[in-house]
Chains A and B, each alone.
Chain A
Amino acid sequence: MRKIRVLAAKPGLDGHDRGIKVIAAALRDAGMEVIYTGLRQTPEQIVAAAEQEDVDVIALSVLSGAHDYLFPKVMELMRAKGLDDVLVIGGGIIPEEDIPGLKSVGIAEVFGPGTATTAIVDYITANLKRQV
């Protein structure tokens, strides 16, 4: 069995990266391979990185409220590239009422403040779309 490959990504202008870095460290400790994009990535850059790095998972983090534009944009580009077998999850400060809309465009799950990193590890492991 190979390692699960995860792209941890910060779309948009948001500089809050404490959460995504903690999650990256936790996923690594759980045996996954994690590539972190750094700040200020456009949806185009994220999708290109996902394709190039051949990842199984993209974990998007936004705390600025721009998830309503950025998450659907990433999904639109993923579909256009035919990257349908990549599991895309999101997290940050995301109001409950926004979650159904994000799920309807293909974000598999949204994790809010207070989520245990183990819950994210378990979710990824159980919901991968590709064989590892």
Chain B
Amino acid sequence: MSDFAEKLKAWQAKVDKLAAKHPERKPQFTTISGLPVDRLYLPENPGEDYAAKLGLPGEYPFTRGVQPTMYRGRFWTMRQYAGFASAAESNRRYRYLLEQGQTGLSVAFDLPTQIGYDADHDMARGEVGKVGVSISSLRDMEILFDQIPLDKVSTSMTINAPAGILLAMYIAVAEKQGVKPDQLRGTIQNDILKEYSSRGTYIFPPKPSMRIITNIFAYCAAEVPQWNTISISGYHIREAGSTAVQEVAFTLANGLAYVKAAVEAGLDVDAFGPRLSFFFNAHLDFLEEVAKYRAARRLWARLMKERFGAKDPRSLMVRFHTQTAGCSLTAQQPANNIVRVAFQAMSAVLGGTQSLHTNSMDEALSLPTTEAVTIALRTQQIIAYETGVGDTIDPLAGSYYVERLTDEIERQAEEYIKKIDEMGGAPEAIERGFVQREIQQSAYDYQKAIESGERVVVGMNKFVTKEPFTGKLLRVDPQVREDQAAALAKLRAERDQAAVDQGLAALKAAAQDDSNLMPHFLACVRAYATLGEICDTLRGVFGEYRAPSTI
């Protein structure tokens, strides 16, 4: 028997055992016409080349997916990014989404929260509650998750510079519900490098930021073992204008920088590696996107193995969330966006995503209304329950075109990574403005192609009609800031100020030496120190980042 035949036999035995313990969604899968659907399809005579490049689902190099049964076992997590106005308002939206069959939460914070300002700070004027929920203290977080059992849901939080502080608040809310940290499942984005290059919500300079991230890795490995400590994000790199190749390259280069920092801080790669997760964009070029996810999986697995000697298979896996491309939505003929989103979502599913956010049709106009969010969620449910694409694993494998694209994206992404290595790694490449300039150039080229008509955007530069949008838009009441400011004043008057002062003083001392900051974040938030007070303490020690000019 050939090597691969033996491997396949072992894989089948493993999967049968697994399926006996955790049954697949159906005892037998068939097409609508009743034709049988197998778990996995292979070439007639899989050779060494197949084994090396594609392998088996759930096994190195993970090209065909990270789980051995993929969506036959269970569908991806349907996780709509949501949050606006006050904690109470967002809590109502979360509970609505859970009632509608959503299977995980994804918290959007407003910009003051993401940049570590309390709602009553001068820099927060005009921004409170606008692009997400306003959280200034543990009190807001308690309201945000009111009546949502944190041992039952998994929660993803799009928070970066102050990620450790928001995670500490989440842990503290769970404690009040009687839920232990080791029962918590979810993700913090915690990816500061792409903030410098693409998204903009940085606070501190790279060095202390990388140290905080490493602190979080170490703390969670011991205390919050089911938590994804980082979501290394290509999404925003793509939204900023990159190509698919650049998205993979810059994301994985950032990933390598985090792993390197943690290993240099003395952590074992297999202690934190299994909790690294990723986040990609689902853009318009359907088959290129499918290939992109597959290429990212294969390349990361190899890099982790070759560069860091990772052994735990979970350290080698790209487990990822996907969001459809906000930048592809048009303000013109917004209903067309439903169709764009459906194709993008389908590409993520055919590419093996672990969770998915589908954008709403009205997001080029404003925050989405409940009606638009519901259609977006239904789009995922139709893909899952009606189309049958989840009934066999990695169905596009073996397509000459998709395999060639997968190879090519991997090759070109690796070339970029080598170039970044030569500059000293991702933080240096970003500090020099290299990554930003590459992205800017791609964005400009894309725009020029649209304006010349070379790239068609239906309803925008072709098939144009002049119908004004008449639908409803979601508006955030400016009163939210006043209410938040009043609540903060009340909180500051009622809390034990001595405990707050003590917590912040201990945090300052810890920031000045090399202690892990996570226990201090917890002590501060439990005492109801505000997010702004905690971040100001750190600003005092670390200073603030100043972006280099790249244009």
Contact = CB atoms under 8 A, between A and B. Distances in A.
A21 B195 CA distance: 16
Contact of A12 (B126, B473, B476): B126
A68 B124 CA distance: 13
Interface in A17-35: 17-18, 21-22, 24-26
A22 B364 contact: no
A114 B333 CA distance: 11
B547 A38 contact: yes
Contacts of B450: 116
Contacts of B112: 13
A117 B451 contact: yes
Interface residues of A, number: 34
B451 A93 contact: no
B46 interface: no
A18 B551 contact: no
A36 interface: yes
A93 B366 contact: yes
A95 B241 contact: no
B111 interface: yes
Interface stretch (B136-144, B145-153, B439-447, B519-527): B439-447
Contacts of A15: 111, 195, 199-201
Given A18-B327, A96-B469, A114-B460, A36 B126 contact: no
Interface string A58-86: 00000011101110010000000000000
Contact of B111 (A13, A73, A114, A117): A13
For A21, A36, A39, A68, which residue has the most chain B Cβ atoms within 10 angstroms?
A: A21
Given A12-B111, A16-B200, A96 B468 contact: yes
Interface residues of B, number: 44
B267 interface: no
B127 A113 contact: no
Interface string B42-60: 0000000000000000000
A42 B549 CA distance: 18
Given A25-B551, A38-B547, A93-B364, A69 B199 contact: no
For A14, A42, A66, A118, which residue has the most chain B Cβ atoms within 10 angstroms?
A: A66
Interface string B189-205: 00000010001110000
Given A13-B127, A112-B331, A117-B447, 17 more contacts: A12-B111, A14-B127, A15-B195, A18-B239, A21-B443, A24-B551, A25-B440, A25-B444, A36-B549, A64-B127, A64-B131, A65-B476, A66-B125, A70-B126, A96-B468, A97-B473, A116-B450
Interface of A: 12-18, 21-22, 24-26, 36, 38-40, 42, 64-66, 68-70, 73, 93, 95-97, 112-114, 116-118
Nearest to B470: A96
B240 interface: yes
Nearest to A23: B447
B70 interface: no
Contacts of B200: 14-17, 39-40
28 contacts: A13-B117, A14-B127, A15-B200, A17-B200, A18-B240, A18-B241, A18-B327, A21-B443, A22-B443, A22-B447, A25-B444, A26-B444, A26-B447, A36-B551, A40-B200, A42-B123, A64-B127, A64-B131, A66-B111, A69-B478, A73-B126, A93-B366, A113-B364, A114-B331, A114-B332, A114-B364, A116-B450, A116-B451
B451 A118 contact: yes
B423 interface: no
A36 B549 CA distance: 9
Interface string B329-341: 1111000000000
